[in-house]
């Protein structure tokens, strides 16, 4: 019997929020774009306009950077005690927790992912990140250094100081998580910020701006500019008064950011794409590896930088794993995020849907076969069927390039050295996973993989406290954990003779 769909009623505050033109936050004021222009953001489950948002560009970025510069130089944020900064960030987390349902619904409507996911993962993760870095505000320390310079005795020590004005450009796959992950360490260390969310998903970052004000973060410390990457984003990346750019998104745009940042040699941190190998050895606990491999690629419609998109399975278990993952894929209920019966929502936009489908076409033209899925799902909205591709090899585009959709390529292996060479044969190096009961083999393989994170007998476990970032073209620097504080601070050495 087919299950009836269950539409979840939209919260009244969320309906009111999207009905009104959304403005940008500059210097503590909600303002239109200087040009007066707006752009629409769409509900990817229907393709209909969800809300209209100010279209900021260079002039607005100039205003926002000026506000952030003044707020940094005058110091109402960096000069309060670390304890007070931590308290305010913690309050922001509390305010977000109180309005979790509204944020979860708004994220679901704007991004597409199922409400169950935004309620259980996205918004709680944002709250956790804020609290984690609130705790760090009081622990950003320098050190004393015993130096050996001749002539006198010296006292030498380091201060760890906020880096200054930070431009943060974030993508659409986890809009709230990306916003709080960028904001929390910047705020904890005393920086000021201009945040630019993705054009596809600007709404939750803007609503967070209201809470930022309510929490008592001074005007100009956080400015939020909505607009397009080629205009607003590019202006922010090139701005001479910005001290650092933190970017998450495609490797292609990451390279543009590096070029743009060269003008004033601002510091840059990048969290970019991936094509992560997920390796199942014959001695793995197959009952865990199969759902683990399915979740590694289908979570968030596959729009995850560390998705397990290349699944390598040892010969003896190949058929069983392909069969198991395909069965799970075919049972995933694809539908609007605001229906309680949906396990998987649409991809974020028509452009992304077409991009994923064109990868599928390219795979088929090169000889790949879909065991399940392989096309768009339905005709309304931007849905793609969860897809398992076999008959694939390392020469194919679907194996080499980041698809960023619910598409996994499964390939058999027999020789471990050959497997490692193939797994590492990619410009990316964000993540990888190994499934085996053999503890020595697990750690040998983890050591041989050139990736910023390696999971053993699990996949996609991320935590505010655990550093995450890429080898090779997957990025510069590590986010999360105490390592992320380094991205937002400068080290100053102070030295004086004391003899
Ligand atoms: P982009 O890299 O274009 O977008 C990420 C952010 O960069 C957005 O805020 C975007 O703004 C902004 N941006 C775009 N161009 C510029 C520019 N010239 N200067 C400064 N900022 C800019 O990702 P796409 O949306 O185009 O997605 C394409 C592919 O990128 C995906 O299929 C996936 O492979 C990869 N990707 C990887 C992500 C990750 O987490 N590593 C996240 C998202 C995408 P705006 O959106 O407003 O144009």
| Ligand 1, pocket-test mutation among 229, 255, 351, 360, most atoms within 8 A of CB | 229
Check pLDDT > 80 for residue 412.
yes
To the query of whether residue 271 is one of the catalytic residues in this protein, the response is yes
What ligand 1 atom has the least distance to the C-alpha of 273?
41
To the query of whether residue 102 is one of the catalytic residues in this protein, the response is no
Give yes or no for residue 362 CB within 6 A of ligand 1.
Answer: no
Q: What is the mean pLDDT of residues 147-162?
A: 94
- The model carries a pTM of 0.98
Check pLDDT > 90 for residue 4.
no
Question: Which residue's alpha carbon is at the smallest distance from atom 19 of ligand 1?
Answer: 234
Q: What is the mean pLDDT of residues 120-138?
A: 98
Share above pLDDT 90 across residues of the chain, in percent, rounded to a whole number:
98
Span from the CA of 200 to the centroid of ligand 1 (angstroms): 10
Which one from 271, 314, 402, 479 is the annotated catalytic residue? Answer: 271
491: CB partners within 8 A, 6+ apart: 142, 158, 159, 160, 161
Joined tokens for residue 92:
């922001």
Question: Which residue's alpha carbon is at the smallest distance from atom 28 of ligand 1?
Answer: 250
Model pLDDT, residue 3: 54
Check pLDDT > 70 for residue 242.
yes
As a whole number of angstroms, the distance between CA 125 and CA 144 comes to 35
Model pLDDT, residue 1: 43
Span from the CA of 478 to the centroid of ligand 1 (angstroms): 19
Span from the CA of 226 to the centroid of ligand 1 (angstroms): 14
Span from the CA of 247 to the centroid of ligand 1 (angstroms): 9
Which one from 305, 306, 314, 402 is the annotated catalytic residue? Answer: 305
Share above pLDDT 70 across residues of the chain, in percent, rounded to a whole number:
99
Read off the pLDDT of residues 165-218 as tens digits, 9 standing for 90 and up. 999 999 999 999 999 999 999 999 999 999 999 999 999 999 999 999 999 999
Give yes or no for residue 199 CB within 6 A of ligand 1.
Answer: yes
Read off the pLDDT of residues 305-361 as tens digits, 9 standing for 90 and up. 999 999 999 999 999 999 999 999 999 999 999 999 999 999 999 999 999 999 999
Check pLDDT > 90 for residue 2.
no
Q: What is the longest distance spanned by two Cα atoms in the chain?
A: 88
Read off the pLDDT of residues 265-311 as tens digits, 9 standing for 90 and up. 999 999 999 999 999 999 999 999 999 999 999 999 999 999 999 99
Least confident of 1-5, 47-51, 100-104, 420-424: 1-5
Dihedral sign, Cα of residue 296, residue 297, residue 298, residue 299: positive
Give yes or no for residue 175 CB within 6 A of ligand 1.
Answer: no
327: CB partners within 8 A, 6+ apart: none
Read off the pLDDT of residues 225-234 as tens digits, 9 standing for 90 and up. 999 999 999 9
Model pLDDT, residue 150: 84
Q: What is the distance in angstroms between the CA of the first residue and the CA of the last residue of the chain?
A: 87
What does pLDDT average to over the chain?
A: 97
Q: What is the mean pLDDT of residues 16-28?
A: 98
Question: Which residue's alpha carbon is at the smallest distance from atom 16 of ligand 1?
Answer: 229
Span from the CA of 434 to the centroid of ligand 1 (angstroms): 29
Give yes or no for residue 198 CB within 6 A of ligand 1.
Answer: yes
163 — pLDDT class (breaks 50, 70, 90) = very high
81: CB partners within 8 A, 6+ apart: none
| Ligand 1, pocket-test mutation among 236, 250, 262, 475, most atoms within 8 A of CB | 250
Model pLDDT, residue 340: 95
């Amino acid at each position: 019997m087919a299950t009836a769909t269950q539409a979840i009623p939209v919260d009244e505050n969320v309906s009111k929020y999207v009905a009104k033109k959304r403005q940008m936050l500059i210097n503590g004021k909600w303002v239109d774009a200087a040009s007066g222009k707006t752009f629409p953001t769409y509900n990817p489950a229907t393709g209909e306009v969800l809300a209209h948002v100010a279209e900021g560009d260079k002039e607005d970025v100039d205003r926002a950077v000026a506000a952030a510069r003044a707020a940094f130089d005058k110091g109402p944020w960096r000069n309060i005690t670390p304890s007070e900064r931590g308290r305010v960030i913690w309050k922001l987390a509390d305010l977000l927790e109180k309005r979790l349902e509204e944020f979860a619904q708004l994220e679901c409507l704007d991004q597409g992912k199922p409400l169950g996911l935004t309620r259980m993962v996205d918004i709680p993760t944002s709250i956790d990140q804020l609290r984690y870095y609130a705790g760090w505000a009081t622990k950003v320390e320098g050190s004393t250094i015993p130096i050996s310079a001749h002539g006198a005795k010296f006292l030498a020590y380091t201060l760890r100081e906020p880096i200054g004005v930070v431009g943060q450009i974030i993508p659409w796959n986890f809009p709230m998580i990306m916003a709080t992950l960028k904001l929390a360490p910047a705020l904890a260390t005393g920086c000021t910020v201009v945040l630019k969310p993705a054009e596809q998903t600007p709404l939750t970052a803007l609503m967070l701006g209201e809470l930022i004000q309510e929490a008592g973060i001074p005007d100009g410390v956080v400015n939020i500019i909505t607009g397009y990457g080629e205009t607003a984003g590019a202006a922010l990346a090139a701005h001479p008064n910005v001290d650092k750019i933190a970017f998450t998104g495609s490797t292609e745009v990451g390279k543009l950011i590096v070029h743009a940042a060269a003008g004033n040699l601002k510091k840059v941190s990048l969290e970019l794409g991936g094509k992560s190998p997920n390796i199942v050895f014959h001695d793995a606990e197959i009952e865990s590896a199969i759902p683990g491999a399915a979740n590694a690629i289908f979570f968030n419609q596959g729009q995850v930088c560390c998705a397990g998109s290349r699944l390598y399975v040892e010969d003896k278990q190949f058929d069983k794993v392909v069969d198991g993952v395909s069965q799970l894929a075919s049972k995933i209920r694809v539908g609007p995020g605001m229906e309680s019966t949906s396990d998987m929502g649409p991809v974020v936009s028509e452009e992304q849907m077409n991009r994923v489908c064109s990868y599928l076409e390219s795979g088929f033209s090169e000889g790949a076969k879909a065991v399940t899925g392989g096309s768009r799902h339905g005709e309304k909205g931007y849905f793609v069927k969860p897809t398992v591709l076999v008959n694939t090899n390392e020469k194919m585009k679907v194996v080499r390039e980041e698809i960023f959709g619910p598409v996994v390529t499964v390939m058999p292996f027999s020789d471990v050295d050959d497997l490692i060479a193939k797994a590492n044969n990619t410009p990316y190096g964000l993540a990888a996973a190994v499934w085996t009961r053999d503890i020595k083999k697990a750690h040998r393989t983890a050591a041989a993989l050139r990736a910023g994170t390696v999971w053993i007998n699990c996949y996609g476990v991320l935590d505010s406290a655990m550093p995450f970032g890429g080898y090779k073209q997957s990025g510069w620097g590590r986010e999360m954990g105490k390592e992320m504080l380094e991205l937002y601070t400068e080290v100053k050495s102070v030295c004086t003779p004391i003899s």
